[in-house]
Structure 1
Amino acid sequence: MRTIIILLFSILATMEIFSQNRTTDRQPVAAGRFYSADKETLTKDISQLFETCKKYTENR
């Protein structure tokens, strides 16, 4: 029983030490690499892609 308590305490302490700081946001890494980083350009690109999609109907 003592071993389990020590093990649980060790796990909880380790989780606290290596947890992410919630006060800071991570900066985007992939924005602009394979899609546009500009919101308006990205919205336009996505809209154009959806316009070229085949429409699905229940009857096919």
Structure 2
Amino acid sequence: MAWDRVEGNWKQVKGKVKEQWGKLTDDDLDVINGKREQLEGKIQERYGKAKDEAKRDVDTWYDSQTW
């Protein structure tokens, strides 16, 4: 699944995102709205991670999903 499909199915996907990153609030998820850069930024903010670490975490999570 390409990331654009994540954006298109955000309502279904955000539950999986919340399972992975429980510190993200529902408001965060509404702001992210499927945008990868927004997700990475919120992970940085909530978890105190560097930009490259947040990107790696999203890559790892994305690759582990059974789409």
TM-score bucket (shorter structure): 0.3 to 0.5
Question: Which has more helix, going by share of residues?
Answer: 2
Structure with greater contact order relative to length (CA < 8 Å, sep ≥ 6): 2
